Structure 1
């Protein structure tokens, strides 16, 4: 019985403290005292950093939003601007965090926090990067920002992770380019001109992405597009196109003699050679 009464008393005290705290916070939001707002916002931010409490980040953010303009150009402005940007970052509001980190870099280029700001700005765009099949504006921006970080801080604290993210995003961009070319190939039977578009797209892909994990598949689909285009061509165009397909086969064979697509390509190559004997 006594234990239950103690638990209720502790719970009641906690509720009362929370109520008083909320009331003080609401009063502070309405206050004109920038100094108190700064102190309390920093306290909330530090507590949130310790335990990852998103509610405290959000409460700190409301105060930061009110006072940041008042401190720009003042001694406290540098620290406050970084905390403001990082609060958006911790809350996952990456559009605003990237904007505020950019602003911080421009305003305080000699700050000891400028490297972290550059990295987190780039990472904000990385977090915004969508699936490969969607618009890749943010992905391209992330790659640009990550490369800028790596160029500016080649021995920086976040170099390894920045390289990993940049590689991941480049592969995503390569996959999008590859899949667009592959779509031309897959629709070529319905529209013969798409085979020619596929050949051009895969050729460009191979030229632009020398280290891509999709290179072998691109070599195969380029050959297969050329083969299918050739065998469905008018006779006046067929010989030239068959020879072009055969060249693509030889290129694949040179780089991937034991490749995944070797068997079906050899069968197609034999058919090409048989057809060329008729010319």
Structure 2
């Protein structure tokens, strides 16, 4: 019985492959469409797409074209070929703005861009595009069932931009380029007003100002000490219970001592 079962399975597989090969070679676009749809429904997206790609030009302008373009785009999406799926879903949305699949296609197009977003340490051009595409979806379909997920995806992408900007500014601090670090953290605080890393940014901005002041030449030191003190007050005002508060307060004491010296000299 086991041998019979294996023989039957082998026969079915070979038969299926034979039908697929025949469809590939066939000049009948209806045959290709039918076989492609069967393969799509069976989860064999790669094979289905090979058939779909052959016949899309022939169906252009025909009633079946809408379904064909959707299946082609979604097969690419299911295959995790997100460059291709983003492109095909965008074409679908442009070609069939009144389709019942328009909301789903718009979301999956945007989500394809999300999937293409790289690690925060790399170039973030695709992340910015993904945010724009997801925001467009949210604006167009504010009542969508996918709204919560779309907003969460935007939040994740924005954090990547935030993390990249923060790490650049922090790196300047680590290599003792304190002016560049302060300027970068100033920009960070403006660009990301609700940042998850805002506490860290305010502390490291203060630390950079402190380091710059303490290592300054004499004629610049007083002004820089006062700037550092101002940054400390800004940090403490926002995060009175910060994990960094003890270290920051120790540095403030150094600043106060230095400023007291200037008062004594006066």
- Provide TM-score, normalisation by structure 1: 0.92
Q: Which residue of 2 aligns with 1:118?
A: 106
Q: Which one of the candidate residues 223, 228, 249 is aligned to 1:245?
A: 228
Per-residue CA distance 1:156-180 (angstroms, 9 max, x = gap)? 1211111111111111110011000
Shift of residue 245, structure 1, vs aligned partner = 0.2
Shift of residue 27, structure 1, vs aligned partner = 1.5
Matches within 5 A, 1:51-62: 56-62=44-50
Q: Which residue of 2 aligns with 1:201?
A: 184
Shift of residue 16, structure 1, vs aligned partner = 1.5
Measure the CA separation in 1 of the matches of 2:107 and 2:36. Answer: 24
Measure the CA separation in 1 of the matches of 2:210 and 2:200. Answer: 15
Matches within 5 A, 1:169-248: 169-188=157-176, 194-248=177-231
SS at structure 1 position matched to 2:261: coil
Q: Which one of the candidate residues 55, 61, 84 is aligned to 1:96?
A: 84
SS at structure 1 position matched to 2:193: coil
SS at structure 2 position matched to 1:79: helix
Measure the CA separation in 2 of the matches of 1:28 and 1:11. Answer: 26
SS at structure 2 position matched to 1:141: helix
The reply to whether residue 29 of structure 1 matches residue 17 of structure 2 is: no
Matches within 5 A, 1:73-84: 73-84=61-72
Q: Which residue of 1 aligns with 2:42?
A: 47
Shift of residue 20, structure 1, vs aligned partner = 2.1
Measure the CA separation in 2 of the matches of 1:258 and 1:156. Answer: 40
Question: Hey, which bits of structure 1, 4+ residues long, moved more than 4 A?
Answer: none
The reply to whether residue 132 of structure 1 matches residue 115 of structure 2 is: no
Q: Which residue of 1 aligns with 2:95?
A: 107
Q: Which runs of 5+ in 1 are unaligned?
A: 1-5, 49-55, 189-193
Q: Which residue of 1 aligns with 2:6?
A: 11
Q: How many residues align?
A: 262
SS at structure 2 position matched to 1:277: helix
Shift of residue 74, structure 1, vs aligned partner = 1.1
SS at structure 2 position matched to 1:165: helix
Measure the CA separation in 2 of the matches of 1:114 and 1:85. Answer: 12
Q: Which residue of 2 aligns with 1:53?
A: none
- Provide TM-score, normalisation by structure 2: 0.97
Per-residue CA distance 1:214-246 (angstroms, 9 max, x = gap)? 000000000000010011111010000000000
Q: Which residue of 2 aligns with 1:191?
A: none
The reply to whether residue 263 of structure 1 matches residue 246 of structure 2 is: yes
Measure the CA separation in 1 of the matches of 2:98 and 2:139. Answer: 17
Measure the CA separation in 1 of the matches of 2:53 and 2:145. Answer: 29
Shift of residue 197, structure 1, vs aligned partner = 0.6
